[in-house]
Amino acid sequence: MRLKDKVAIVTGAASGIGAATALAMAREGAHVLVVDVNEAGAKATVEQIEKAGGQAAAARADVTRAADNQAVVERATAQWGRLDVFYANAGVPQWKMDLEDVDEKTFDQIFSVNVKGVWLGAKYALPVMKRQRRGLFLITASTAAIRPRPGGQTYAASKGAVVTLTKALALEAAPHGVRVVAIAPVATHTPMLPTFMSKKEVDAESLAQYVATVPLGRLNQPQDIAETAVFLASDAAAMITGSCIEVDGGRCI
Ligand SMILES: NC(=O)c1ccc[n+]([C@@H]2O[C@H](COP(=O)([O-])OP(=O)(O)OC[C@H]3O[C@@H](n4cnc5c(N)ncnc54)[C@H](O)[C@@H]3O)[C@@H](O)[C@H]2O)c1
């Protein structure tokens, strides 16, 4: 077990990448606090973890709120005694459209969840990790941060911001033995996928068009990111910090 007795918080873990990662980390022996604004979904992830013999608890939190971030960090450390991993994964997508059609409210919502939500998670998790002199603060960015495509400028800019935040925080955390890493997934089969394609549901034609841009010839499954997150959280990744790891089948080449 690669994460035996480690303590992890995963945000956005009611669904998609977060749920798959919470399950994978628990399978590797971690105690996982499953965090989401969708409390029923978070509880469903915990049920799956427990059915598989793992240890987890659910917490409702809105990552855009400072008090919620503080509360989940306090809850995990009170329940399990420390904090080894904070995976700031919760995020919201953007419907494909040119900038002139994006309203200010949409900008504020995307930046509030995708940037401020991550910033707040770091603000409360890093001091605990620095005191422990160990830990990983992990962030879900996107290939949109590296290779933006037309019609996704607001989302791309939010993910670009957290890639830079990853590097800046890695420098602050390194003297304390703490690592900060981002993962940049290409399009992934989760409930978020149709929004990126500006469709209510993913249809075969849009999927084929997207897949054709990925050299390895498929999109991610949530499990592809979960496996990367487990590796980054393990001792095998001890020299990786400040990086943005592309999990993209070659899409960004
Ligand atoms: N699916 C993709 O194609 C793709 C590609 C690259 C990056 N990403 C990123 O991966 C991350 C996970 O997305 P996913 O694809 O698993 O989508 P998803 O919709 O399945 O999961 C996102 C989760 O975040 C939660 N959430 C949203 N706002 C929140 C808030 N304010 N507080 C707490 N929880 C909140 C949602 O309730 C949901 O459970 C996001 O950061 C997303 O931007 C997704």
Q: Is 7-189+221-245 assigned to CATH 3.50.30.30?
A: no
Asked if the model's pLDDT at residue 115 lies above 90, the reply is: yes
Nearest Cα residue to 178 out of 139, 138, 136, 140: 136
Question: In the chain, where are the structural domains located?
Answer: 7-189+221-245
**Best probe residue, ligand 1, of 11, 119, 188, 244 (max atoms within 8 Å of C-beta):** 188
Catalytic residue among 87, 124, 155, 210: 155
Tokens of 44: 């469903």
- Provide residues with CB under 6 Å of ligand 1: 11-12, 14-18, 36-38, 41, 61-64, 89-92, 113, 117, 140, 142, 185, 187-188, 190-193, 196
Ligand 1 centroid – CA 192 distance (Å): 7
pLDDT confidence of residue 199? 87
Q: Is the pTM of this model over 0.75?
A: yes
Residue 93: C-alpha distances to residues 97, 135, 155, 190 (Å): 12, 28, 6, 12
Q: What is the pLDDT of residues 199-216, one digit of tens each?
A: 889 999 999 999 999 999
Tokens of 20: 């798959």
155 catalytic? Reply is yes
Lowest mean pLDDT among 40-54, 87-101, 192-206, 222-236: 192-206
pLDDT confidence of residue 198? 85
Ligand 1 centroid – CA 141 distance (Å): 10
